[in-house]
Structure formats: structure tokens, C-alpha cells
């Protein structure tokens, strides 16, 4: 790997994708937490827009373990593009419409926090680490998820579609 900005790209992508995936669930079932519908394996692909003006395809696979009441989520996410691969682990809790938790990209030993709100099937999240902050919007319809990401960092944005396997 070159000594350019490439080592930072996987961290930024990992954090933003991770936060997006972990906040994507349905809140339409009364009495269950926002992660109640997340258990299982999800996979998909999308496009990342770089600040250089270029873009790159990315493929992801996520495995979710959900607490019995649907308010806790443990995630393992693996994503790859033509130029790199990363693996993330996370823990997130939901309480009274708020989401909070942490993530760790294990191959590069970098991590950060996830904070946001859930309501009416819409998730608005901010994911943070030492070097960046990104905003995410997530919508889920049945077994399909759409994720939109925007950032002022090396990764300007992303559009990702996931399906439950």
C-alpha cells in the first residue's frame, strides 16, 4: 500500500458504512426495539464518491446478532472494493429513540462512536472518529435497505443497497 491517503480511506469508508448498516432497521412493530428486524445476514453493493471526483464500487456483507428485546445490536461487517478490504465489529444500543454505541475496524485498529435518532422508519446518524465525521440517512422496506452517506472527508458520499440473504 502506498504512503498516500489510501490508508485513511478504508477507515472512513468502514466507519460510515458500519454506522449506516447498524442503524438500518424497521420501527413499525410496537413493543419491539428498532433492531428487532435485523437478525441475520445482509449483503449488497454500492458506489463511493471520492473527493478527487472519482468513484469506486464496494461490496458488503453484514451479520447481525440482536438482543431479545430488539434494543441491542452486535455486528460483524466485511466490505471490499477493488483496492482494499476491511472488517468491522460493533455494539449499539437503542433507548427512547436514541442510538449510541461504538465500532472498531479490527484490521487497522481504529474505532469511534455512533450517535443518532430513530423515528418513523427513518434513521439520522452521525458517526465519528478522530479524523472525521459523517452524516447518514437510512431507509428500510422489508428485506431491502437504502443507505445514503455524506462527509467532508476523502470520501464525499456513498449510495448503498442491501438485501437480507
In a domain, 2, yes or no: no
**For residue 110, pLDDT beyond 70:** yes
- CATH number, residue 152: 2.40.128.20
pLDDT of residue 119: 67
Q: Give the model confidence (pLDDT) of 37-95 as tens digits.
A: 777 898 999 988 878 888 999 998 888 898 999 888 888 888 888 876 778 788 889 99
The radius of gyration computed from the CA coordinates of the chain, to the nearest angstrom, equals 15
* pLDDT score at 15: 53
Instruction: Look at residue 22 and tell me if it is in a domain.
Output: yes
Whether residue 1 lies inside any domain: the answer is no
How many folded domains does the chain comprise?
1
Q: Which residue has the higher pLDDT, 61 or 113?
A: 113
Pull the grid cell for residue 87: 472488517
C-alpha span between 135 and 138 (Å, rounded): 10
- Quickly tell me which residue has 465519528 as its cell: 128
Q: What is the pLDDT of residue 32?
A: 80
Q: Is 101 domain-assigned?
A: yes
Structural domain boundaries, residue 48: 8-164
pTM over 0.75: no
Residue 7 has pLDDT above 80, yes or no: no
31: in domain: yes
Residue pLDDT, tens place only, 10-27? 555 555 555 555 544 433
Which CA distances in Å does 26 have to 95, 98, 102, 115, 164? 15, 14, 21, 17, 13
- Any bridge partners for residue 46, and if so which? 58, 160
Q: What is the pLDDT of residues 119-158, one digit of tens each?
A: 666 677 788 888 777 787 777 778 888 878 888 777 788 8
| Domain-embedded: residue 18 | yes
Residue 82 inside a domain? The answer is yes
As a whole number of angstroms, the distance between CA 105 and CA 76 comes to: 10
C-alpha atoms less than 13 angstroms from C-alpha of 76 in its C-beta half-sphere = 5
In a domain, 120, yes or no: yes
Residue pair 50/155 in contact (Cβ under 8 Å)? The answer is: yes
Distance CA 151, CA 128 (A): 11
Amino acid at each position: 500500500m502506498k504512503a498516500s491517503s489510501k490508508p485513511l480511506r478504508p477507515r472512513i469508508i468502514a466507519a460510515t458504512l458500519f454506522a449506516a448498516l447498524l442503524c438500518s432497521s424497521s420501527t413499525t412493530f410496537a413493543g419491539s426495539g428498532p433492531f428487532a428486524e435485523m437478525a441475520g445476514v445482509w449483503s449488497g453493493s454500492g458506489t463511493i464518491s471520492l473527493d478527487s471526483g472519482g468513484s469506486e464500487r464496494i461490496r458488503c456483507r453484514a451479520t447481525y446478532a440482536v438482543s431479545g428485546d430488539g434494543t441491542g445490536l452486535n455486528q460483524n461487517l466485511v466490505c471490499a472494493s477493488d483496492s482494499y478490504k476491511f472488517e468491522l465489529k460493533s455494539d449499539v444500543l437503542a433507548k427512547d429513540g436514541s442510538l449510541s454505541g461504538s465500532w472498531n475496524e479490527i484490521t487497522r485498529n481504529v474505532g469511534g462512536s455512533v450517535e443518532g435518532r430513530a423515528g418513523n422508519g427513518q434513521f439520522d446518524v452521525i458517526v465519528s472518529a478522530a479524523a472525521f465525521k459523517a452524516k447518514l440517512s437510512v431507509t428500510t422496506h422489508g428485506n431491502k435497505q437504502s443507505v445514503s452517506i455524506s462527509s467532508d472527508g476523502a470520501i464525499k458520499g456513498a449510495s448503498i443497497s442491501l438485501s437480507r440473504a
